[in-house]
Amino acid sequence: MKITIFGGGWLGQPLAVALSKKSTNTNEAALEVQVTCRSEASMATIHAQGLQGRHFILGDALQDKAADSPLLTNDIVVINIPPGRRNLANNPQASEQFVSDMCALIHQTCIEQSAKLIFISTSAVYGDVEGEITENSQLNPSTESARAHCAIEQFIQQNIPQTATILRLAGLVGPKRHPAKFLAGKLDLSGASQVVNLVHQQDVILAIEHIINRGIWGETLHLSAQVHPTRNDYYSWAAKQLGLAEPVFSEEQKACSGKQLNPEYTLNKLAMHLNYPSPYDML
């Protein structure tokens, strides 16, 4: 089975490592894994890990380059190319281009070439709403990035609904990445009573492995820890644990818990248990 991971960044590279290790297990089907990157530095890092890397920049027309033909022949494609909220913020033209390029990539690899697709999306598509969120909750994107992901999801659902699975992720935590570090010492922060929706990198990788191994296609899933402390409680605690200055939240005229992702359907569908069911496990 050949798998290409488009987007060899913070999540894509360790995912490629995990899938490559799986391919050496005689109890699993053999996997041929390759991962794309944009720069020579990233390529060097990928090769140092014993991975098969290929240059790719979103917007490239793969069929126009003979050297890119290995990127077109796949059994499964994982697309994890985040636009960067800053890149799309208040820039509808950049958002439109991102959506166009992503849909073109999906068309080339999964419609023309019939590869199955795992598309990494974001829980931001639900927007700033109150209450429990399930995979069937109404979408209400409030940022350019979230609107772009909604448009890509719609393209997938209209064109390859039975051979693609969408995985919406909560805020990512893992090696060299914890939101407490970004909030430490900041003053007058809003949303003290809002709950946090976080998921650990290793649980995301585990979910993707289960999708592949169990052949879970035609689904829209989301992944988050099962415990949801408030921002004030959690980030104050996390800062102490990391030896950082605690963030200071402003007083709220009205407490607002915000959205709370319920991942139970996804966990049951994938027959998996989280390694990090609580954000308090992620330090």
Please, what is the end-to-end C-alpha distance for the chain in angstroms?
35
At how many degrees (to 10) do helices 144-159 and 92-106 cross?
Answer: 30
**pTM of the prediction?**
0.94
- Position 63 scores a pLDDT of 63
Residue 145 lies in a domain: yes
Residue 81 lies in a domain: yes
d(CA 173, CA 277): 12
Q: How many CB atoms lie under 10 A from the CB of residue 77?
A: 24
- Find the CATH number of the domain harbouring 82: 3.40.50.720
pLDDT in tens, 199-255: 999 999 999 999 999 999 999 999 999 999 999 999 999 999 999 999 999 998 788
Tokens linked to 36: 């794309």
Residue 169 lies in a domain: yes
Residue 243 lies in a domain: no
Residue 79 lies in a domain: yes
Closest CA to 166 of 121, 201, 129: 121
pLDDT band, residue 31 (cuts 50/70/90): confident
Domain range for 47 is 2-176+201-225+260-276
Using an 8 Å Cβ cutoff, are 237 and 178 in contact? no
Residue 22 lies in a domain: yes
Least confident of 65-74, 97-106, 133-142, 152-161: 65-74
Number of domains in the chain: 1
Is a pLDDT exceeding 80 seen at residue 23?
no
Residue 189 lies in a domain: no
Q: Measuring CA to CA, how many Å separate 95 from each of 9, 90, 133, 159, 169?
A: 20, 9, 25, 21, 20
Residue 121 lies in a domain: yes
